Amino acid sequence: MAGLGEKKVLISDSISKICQETLTSAGFTVDYRPGISKEDLIACIKDYDGLIVRSGTKVTKEVLEAGAGRLKAVGRAGTGVDNIDIPVASEKGIAVINTPSGNSISAAEHTCAMILATARNIPQGHFSVKNGKWERSKFMGVEVQGKTLAIIGLGRIGREVATRMQSFGMKTIGFDPLVPADEAAKFGVEWMETANIWPLADFITVHTPLIPATKGLLNDTSFGQCKKGVRVVNVARGGIIDEAALVRALQSGQCGGAALDVYSTEPPTSNGLEDLVKEEKVVCTPHLGASTVEAQVKVAEEVANEFIAMAEGRTVNGL
Ligand code: NAD
Ligand code: MLT
């Protein structure tokens, strides 16, 4: 967006108003149209220099081709850019910018809440009481103190989860191909290969991107190598834990509980996911990892500041 003439930006998902305010103060013209239809987006995108999205808008080849010429940047108020066709954006010279750190703490806190929720059957107990029942023995839980938490992916979120769960007395082990063992040791994680992790873990939480190497990272084979009753958590991306394998592991008792914030199809109402979320031992939330007031303000401010930097010809956090 360097040398950008009109600095006209469309925000097409629900994003904190601080984004629009920051851009407007810097001389941008901003149209805020959360929930715009795919057809309307394709029809109007040619009139904008920038597009800002969260995860709702699918920035497909069609959208990018319709915007190419004028559109110079797509900003993602958040981490994952799975909803943006990056190869096509690169081909068209459209920069893709994300805000990878603004929601890390919120996602880490949500993960910790999910670990505890599955350990103590909190949502199941909650619904039981709401339905007039008093089922104390049915919802017997486990302590996390003294248990081993395996963290797959030791980036921004994985390491924040590690330090928080250490304060609950958990032993933390983990794997990341790009984080060496001495670096992992600095935040209290004992680095090991996944083959060595599976038999040791009482809880497994995944914090990787969804890429070919991580798709189905937890599958029938890896579940088979785990302790019986292992609990699993996914606040990263749906599909890192193979969902069909998870159903089988829950039904056989190999998996003792799962806490899921993300699904390979969102909402999880098709492709067998409706059966997964109905499993009694599954605790689920509707992709809420980044849904805090604080995280949404941070990502909104960060994406706006990246656009301003780009318009001023300064270096940006592009992908
Ligand atoms: P990050 O890039 O900081 O860390 C990801 C780590 O995964 C990296 O260190 C990388 O080396 C590692 N990794 C890559 N391939 C791996 C493999 N095969 N095995 C093990 N590790 C591997 O990312 P982050 O900010 O920590 O985000 C982690 C995930 O959480 C992403 O998928 C992101 O989109 C997701 N996320 C979800 C929410 C939510 O609302 N649920 C919010 C924020 C982020
Ligand atoms: C992300 O990748 O940042 C998360 O999925 C959070 C979100 O924007 O919903």
> In this predicted structure, what is the pLDDT of residue 16?
96
Q: How far apart are CA 195 and CA 128, in angstroms?
A: 38
Atom of ligand 2 nearest to the CA of 289: 6
Same domain assignment for residues 155 and 91? no
Residue 1 within any structural domain of the chain: no
Per-residue pLDDT reduced to its tens digit, 49-71:
999 999 999 999 999 999 999 99
Domain interval for residue 75: 8-102+293-312
Residue 36 and residue 112 in one domain: no
Report which bound ligand comes closest to the CA of 55: 2
The residue whose CA is least distant from atom 8 of ligand 2 is: 78
Residue 76, in any domain of the structure: yes
The number of the ligand nearest the C-alpha atom of 284 reads 1
Is there a single domain that holds both residue 166 and residue 202? yes
Neighbour-count burial for 202-226, b at 16+ CB within 10 Å, e otherwise: bbbbbbbebeeebebbbbeebbeeb
CB 200 within 8 A of CB 226: no
> How far, in Å, is the centroid of ligand 2 from the Cα of 102?
10
Percent of the chain with pLDDT over 90: 96
* Same domain as 69, residue 215: no
Are 148 and 238 contained in the same domain? yes
Q: How many CB atoms within 10 Å of residue 91?
A: 13
Q: For residues 4 and 12, give the distance between their C-alpha atoms in angstroms, rounded to a whole number.
A: 20
C-beta 261 within 6 A of ligand 1 = yes
21 within domain boundaries: yes
Band of the pLDDT at 130, cuts 50, 70, 90? very high
The verdict on the CB of residue 54 being under 6 Å from ligand 2 is yes
Same domain, 239 and 299: no
Give the CATH number, domain containing residue 49. 3.40.50.720
Residues 36 and 129 grouped into a single domain:
no
Could you tell me if 262 and 236 are in contact, meaning their C-beta atoms sit under 8 angstroms apart? Answer: yes
> In this predicted structure, what is the pLDDT of residue 244?
97
Please give the positions annotated as active site: 237, 266, 287
- For residue 62, the model assigns a pLDDT of 98
Q: How confident is the model at residue 318 (pLDDT cuts 50, 70, 90)?
A: confident
Q: Are residues 182 and 79 in the same domain?
A: no
Q: Is the CB of 208 under 6 A from ligand 1?
A: yes
Q: What tens digit of pLDDT does each residue of 249-299 get?
A: 999 999 999 999 999 999 999 999 999 999 999 999 999 999 999 999 999
- For the cut 90, the answer to whether the pLDDT of residue 31 exceeds it is yes
pLDDT above 60 for 1: no
pTM above 0.80, yes or no: yes
Residues ≥6 apart with Cβ < 8 Å to 185: 191
- Is 216 touching ligand 1 by the criterion CB < 6 Å? no
Cβ of residue 214 lying under 6 Å from some atom of ligand 1: yes
> ipTM value of the model?
0.99
Q: Closest Cα to residue 64, out of 95, 29, 37? A: 95
Range 216-228 average pLDDT? 98
Whether residue 130 is contained in a domain is answered as: yes
pLDDT tens track for 237-260:
999 999 999 999 999 999 999 999
What average pLDDT does the chain have? 96
Residue 315's pLDDT is what?
A: 83
- 19 and 137 housed in the same domain: no
Q: How many A from CA of 208 to the centre of ligand 1?
A: 3
Residue 305 inside a domain? The answer is: yes
Determine the pLDDT at residue 3: 47
CB 205 within 8 A of CB 154: no
pLDDT at residue 5 above 70? no
- Token pair, residue 33, equals 């149209």
- Look at residue 2 in the predicted model and tell me its pLDDT: 53
**Could you identify the atom of ligand 1 that is nearest to the CA of residue 290?**
40
Residue 103 beta carbon below 6 angstroms from any ligand 2 atom: yes
Q: Is the CB of 171 under 6 A from ligand 2?
A: no
Give me ligand 2 centre to Cα 270, in Å. Answer: 21
Q: Identify whether residues 85 and 129 lie together within a single domain.
A: no
Atom of ligand 1 nearest to the CA of 103: 43
Q: Please report whether residue 319 resides in a domain.
A: no
Average pLDDT over residues 208-227: 97
Distance 135 CA to ligand 2 centre (A): 36
- Protein residue with least CA distance to atom 37, ligand 1: 236
How many domains does the chain divide into? 2
Whether residue 97 is found in the same domain as residue 112 = no
Distance (Å) from CA 258 to ligand 1 centroid: 19
210 falls within a domain: yes
Residue 195 lies in a domain: yes
Beta-bridge partners for 283: 259
Instruction: Clarify whether residues 134 and 255 are in a common domain.
Output: yes
The pLDDT of residue 6 is 83
pLDDT of 310 over the 80 cut: yes
User: Which pLDDT value is given to residue 319?
Assistant: 74
Sign of CA pseudo-dihedral 179, 182, 186, 187: positive
* Residue 27 confidence class, pLDDT cut points 50, 70, 90: very high
Q: Is the CB of 239 under 6 A from ligand 1?
A: no
